[in-house]
Chain A
Amino acid sequence: MTYSVAHLGELDRVPVMEGLEWRPIRRRLGITAFGVNAYTAEKVGDWIVEEHTEEQLGHEEMYMVVKGKATFTLGSETVDAPAGTIVFISDPQMKRKAVADEPETTVLAVGAKPGEAFTPSAWEWYFQAYAQAPEDGIETMRRGIAVDGERSPLYYHLACLEARVGRLDDARAHLARAIELDPGAAEHAAKDDDLKEVR
């Protein structure tokens, strides 16, 4: 493949949480050198960027409001962001979130870690998996492990999905593997309702 083409309006709409819809660009176009996606909020008040930090991935993130209007919350500050606004967050520890102030607000997000070659993030697999029927989601996570290799978040969310459908032995085994790869996963597991039957 030497080039690929898509249109913002025809990208998939993957529901994530609180009205936030993920519009995959990186995977759709086959980009491997940086992370890039769009997000759309159907209604006013829906999330357009989920609350998170970049502590785990260490990414710089740049958001550009390409349609509509949003309000960003960055740490304790709020930023009014009509179309054309660019918000760049260099500090991975900064908590960030944004909500739509107009229907169908769309934000372009670009991210990568300074000084390192880009590696696609595990969340792309589990955002997709949680939007699917449970058995399809489990298959998506298995494919994620086959494509991206053994990574703790992939096993962790595979375990969550297996626990949801009662495959408790599989869930225990995959949670154990997630913790083996990253002992920090045990802390999340202790508080995760999906895993209460397998803890």
Chain B
Amino acid sequence: MSGYTVAKLDEIEQMGDGRCPWRPIRHHMGIQAFGINSWTAPDAGDRIINEHGEEGDGGEEELYLVLGGHATFEVGDDKVDAPEGTLVFVAPGTRRTAFAEEAGTTVLAIGAPPGQPYTAFGWELWAPALPYYTSGDYDKAIEIMDPIVAEHPEYPGLLFNLACLESLAGRKDDAVGHLRTAIEKTPRFKDMAKTDSDFDPIREEPAFQELVG
């Protein structure tokens, strides 16, 4: 890289996983210091920001900017009218979601954890496998993720997700191996593995228990 990268937002390829399509700005530009992506709603009424809370250790502060169109945010128990140009900042641990009021509404989302370095987990590249994960076709999801994980060793989140898939598919040794590498890169995956039901099929395995405790 020459030290800088330039792109037009609408030229960044959209990705989809059943939710509103998004543009993986951070991954596309090679940003390592913070997360940034945009979501665009095809139709009015679409949920443009999934409901989530950024709870727990590593939960991120998130700033949303309505780049075009009009949205309504729901933050905790409050509703926030958000026409173009609105900035909505939400602290970790607060439930939030947003709906498009107009077709084509686009929301930019920026995030990082307070008091900690940002880690790029690479969840953006998980999208092609998500439908198969959701439908229970774990072997197909693994087939998709294997080359992506090999191509992007810099993203520990992909390793963790691959380990989840392998656990669900009954590939115990592969699951433990990939989970071990993910934990080596990002120690907080150890705590996440303790409670993630995707690992229930291998939870009693001695190698898993030795790794996760």
Contacts and interface: CB of A to CB of B under 8 A. Distances in A.
Nearest to A25: B87
Interface string A44-68: 0000000000000001101010100
Contact of A59 (B33, B78, B114): B33
Interface residues of B, number: 48
A2 B90 contact: yes
Contacts of A33: 34, 60-61, 111-115, 118
Interface in B1-16: 1, 3-10
B54 to A, nearest CB: 11
B29 interface: yes
Contacts of A111: 33
A114 interface: yes
Interface stretch (A4-12, A121-129, A161-169, A176-184): A4-12
A84 B5 contact: no
A50 B91 CA distance: 30
B188 to A, nearest CB: 15
Interface in A17-59: 25, 29-34, 36, 59
A185 interface: no
A175 interface: no
Contacts of B60: 33
B197 interface: no
A31 B61 contact: yes
B36 interface: yes
A5 B91 CA distance: 12
Nearest to A94: B3
A3 B31 contact: no
A114 B32 contact: yes
A91 interface: yes
Nearest to A8: B85
Contacts of B34: 33-34, 60, 110, 112
A3 B61 contact: no
B63 A3 contact: no
Contacts of B113: 33
Contacts of B61: 31-34
A5 B85 contact: no
A186 interface: no
Given A3-B96, A7-B85, A112 B6 contact: no
A1 interface: yes
